[in-house]
């Protein structure tokens, strides 16, 4: 009798195991979807950034002359700025004029390297004539990241009053003074500078 009970018990256990569905590992679909969405967004932003602006091999900086307005809201609402911001959405993050030196000309400055050390110096007549050493003027602005900035200055068409120095992470240094050309009133482009249009 015990043998029969034991046989029945074994048959029941084996039958129960045979009918039990295999366990499927559970996945948190919300996390998977969120990760896929984040990766897609990053890829899109990278593609948009690369396609929106093509750097020339020799460029350290991209510069655009953007007018004469002093109010940041008016600057961002201007057609030249809006057109640039359509191509370069990071410009919408600019919320103030980084350098407000004497003068009225406004320039948008975008360092090529994100880790560039950016310094904007006062550039005096004495520095231009070599009576005083370069970088002897006031420091208007300094930051260790290459964020886009707006600078205002240039009281004279003949001599700019600010000098921008960019130092990249690999030790390269590039110095320039944004100004307008006396020949045609457009941005004066020097070697290493790329005009944003």
Q: Going residue by residue through the chain, which has 197 residues, state the pLDDT in tens, using 9 for 90 and above.
A: 455 544 544 444 455 545 544 454 455 555 555 555 545 444 444 433 444 578 888 899 999 999 887 788 888 998 888 989 998 998 999 999 999 999 989 999 999 998 899 999 999 888 888 888 877 789 999 999 999 999 999 987 777 899 999 998 788 999 999 999 988 889 999 999 999 87
79: helix, strand or coil: helix
pLDDT of residue 57: 87
pLDDT of residue 166: 95
The answer to whether residues 150 and 94 touch, using CB atoms and an 8 Å cutoff, is: yes
Give the dihedral sign, CA 16/18/19/20.
positive
Residue 121 CB contacts under 8 Å (≥ 6 apart), including other chains: 135, 137, 138, 139, 140, 162, 163, 164, 165
- Please state, in angstroms and as integers, the Cα–Cα distance from residue 141 to each residue in 46, 125, 151, 194, following that order: 28, 20, 10, 21
CA dihedral 60, 96, 85, 170 (to 10 degrees): 20
Alpha-carbon distance of 126 to 149, in angstroms, equals 26
- Any domain includes 7: no
pLDDT of residue 33: 57
- Any domain includes 135: yes
Range of the domain at 66: 57-195
pLDDT of residue 36: 53
pTM for the whole thing?
Answer: 0.71
- Any domain includes 107: yes
pLDDT of residue 48: 39
- Any domain includes 34: no
20-45 burial: b if 16+ Cβ within 10 Å, else e:
eeeeeeeeeeeeeeeeeeeeeeeeee
pLDDT of residue 192: 93
pLDDT of residue 187: 93
- Any domain includes 150: yes
Q: Using alpha carbons, select from 178, 19, 135, 42 the residue that is nearest to residue 190.
A: 178
Alpha-carbon distance of 55 to 62, in angstroms, equals 8
pLDDT of residue 28: 55
4: helix, strand or coil: helix
pLDDT of residue 10: 47
Total number of domains in the chain = 1
Separation of first and last alpha carbons in the chain = 97
- Any domain includes 79: yes
Half-sphere exposure of 33 (CA within 13 A, CB side): 3
pLDDT of residue 45: 40
Structure tokens at 139: 């420091």
Alpha-carbon distance of 194 to 111, in angstroms, equals 10
- Any domain includes 97: yes
- Any domain includes 179: yes
pLDDT of residue 19: 52
């Amino acid at each position: 009798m015990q043998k029969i009970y034991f046989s029945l018990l074994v048959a029941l256990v084996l039958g129960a195991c045979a009918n039990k569905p295999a366990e499927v590992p559970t996945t948190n679909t919300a996390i998977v979807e969120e990760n896929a969405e984040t990766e897609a967004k990053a890829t899109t932003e990278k593609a948009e950034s690369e396609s929106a602006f093509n750097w020339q091999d020799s460029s350290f900086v991209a510069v655009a002359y953007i007018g004469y307005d002093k109010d940041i809201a008016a600057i961002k609402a201007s057609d030249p700025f809006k057109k640039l911001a359509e191509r370069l959405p990071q410009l919408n993050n600019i919320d103030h004029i980084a350098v407000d030196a004497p003068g009225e000309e406004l320039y948008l400055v975008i360092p090529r390297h994100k880790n560039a050390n950016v310094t904007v110096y006062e550039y005096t007549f004495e520095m231009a004539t070599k009576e005083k050493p370069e970088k002897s003027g006031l420091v208007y602005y300094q930051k260790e990241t290459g964020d886009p900035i707006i600078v205002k200055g240039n009281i004279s068409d003949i001599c700019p009053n600010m000098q921008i120095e960019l130092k990249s992470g690999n030790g390269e240094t590039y110095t320039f003074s944004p100004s307008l050309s006396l020949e045609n009133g457009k941005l004066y482009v020097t070697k290493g500078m790329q005009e944003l249009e």
